[in-house]
Structure 1
């Protein structure tokens, strides 16, 4: 992932807070066998300390690839929108000369994948995930010897992704003048399609923290 200086995370806390704000679905990318394309699996995940926790169905074809090469990438993308060219035209240019772009936030984790296969270890992984996704606790006990999860545990495998590197990108035209960024955020809010509003919030948040771009 190419990151311009003005697109980089301002600090570690920025991308951590963005993940914590509900960005808990991503894509696991694993190296395929020689001559084959990498495999990509969309899935929810849970943060556990510095690690990521996921589980997948046992028939998933990624297991063989992970066993052969445990170095994987996990990518989370969100708060994205298409920005039309006329919105980005400079004040001295006709609107049709503006060049469109995409706004988005993305965090890429480089990880060493550790397989979780022991029944109690898988149950604990699921308990941690449920504590995140169903904090009300409105679910049956997750235990290897109790239904319904006990009979289902053999059908899944867990992964603890030990994060070895993080690359975070917040692409919101932060190198443009303040007036330009404010105007685009207003237009995104007014358009109100798909993820326009959260995209505008990210642009305004970065603007509040950064102000005018300084190299």
Structure 2
């Protein structure tokens, strides 16, 4: 993923806050076995310190590739919107001369995958996931051999994804003049299609923190 200096996360708190703000569904990208392309698995995940927790069905074909090569990427994308060229024309030029672009937030975790197969370990992983996704506690506990989840544990395998690096990108025209970015955020809010609203909110948050981009520093 190409990350220009003006698209980079302002600090680790920005991408961590974005993930914590409900962006807990991504695509697990696994190196393919010889002769096959990479495997991509859509999945929910949750963080446990510097480790990401995932579970997948045992019949999932991805296990063969993971057992051969544990290096993976978990990619998360959101707050995206198409920005028409007419919104981006430089001042004093015809609107039709503007160049369209995409706005989006993206975080990519490079990880080493550890397969979790023991019943007790899988139960603990599921307890941590349930605590994240159903924090109100409106779920049964997970114990091997006990209903309702015990009999299902053999049908899944867990993954601990040990994060080695993080690449974050927030592409919202931060290299453009302040007035231009404010105008696009207003247009996104007015159009209000798809993820326009969260894209506009993300752009305004960066406007509040960045202001005008300075190529010599912020």
Per-residue deviation at 1:34? 1.4
Name 1:59's counterpart in structure 2.
Answer: 59
SS in 2 for 1:113: strand
Name 1:172's counterpart in structure 2.
Answer: 172
- Return 5+ residue gaps in structure 2 as ranges: none
Per-residue deviation at 1:35? 2.1
When normalised by structure 1's length, the TM-score is 0.99
Q: Which stretch of structure 1 is more off in the superposition, 79-88 or 133-142?
A: 133-142
Name 1:155's counterpart in structure 2.
Answer: 155
Q: For the residues of structure 2 that align with 1:9 and 1:211, how far apart are their CA atoms?
A: 14
Q: For the residues of structure 1 that align with 2:125 and 2:7, how far apart are their CA atoms?
A: 34
Q: For the residues of structure 1 that align with 2:106 and 2:211, how far apart are their CA atoms?
A: 21
Name 1:88's counterpart in structure 2.
Answer: 88
When normalised by structure 2's length, the TM-score is 0.98
1:141-179 CA-partner distances (Å, limit 9, x unpaired): 211021110000000000000000100000000000000
SS in 1 for 2:104: strand
Answer yes or no: is 1:101 the counterpart of 2:125: no
Name 1:144's counterpart in structure 2.
Answer: 144
Name 2:111's counterpart in structure 1.
Answer: 111
SS in 1 for 2:200: helix
SS in 2 for 1:9: coil
What is the root-mean-square deviation of aligned Cα atoms in Å? 0.5
Name 2:24's counterpart in structure 1.
Answer: 24
SS in 2 for 1:80: strand
Q: For the residues of structure 1 that align with 2:206 and 2:41, how far apart are their CA atoms?
A: 30
Alignment of 1:183-198 (within 5 A): 183-198=183-198
SS in 2 for 1:180: helix
Q: For the residues of structure 2 that align with 1:152 and 1:42, how far apart are their CA atoms?
A: 21
1:162-200 CA-partner distances (Å, limit 9, x unpaired): 000100000000000000000000000000001000000
Q: Name segments (4+ residues, structure 1) moved above 3 Å.
A: none
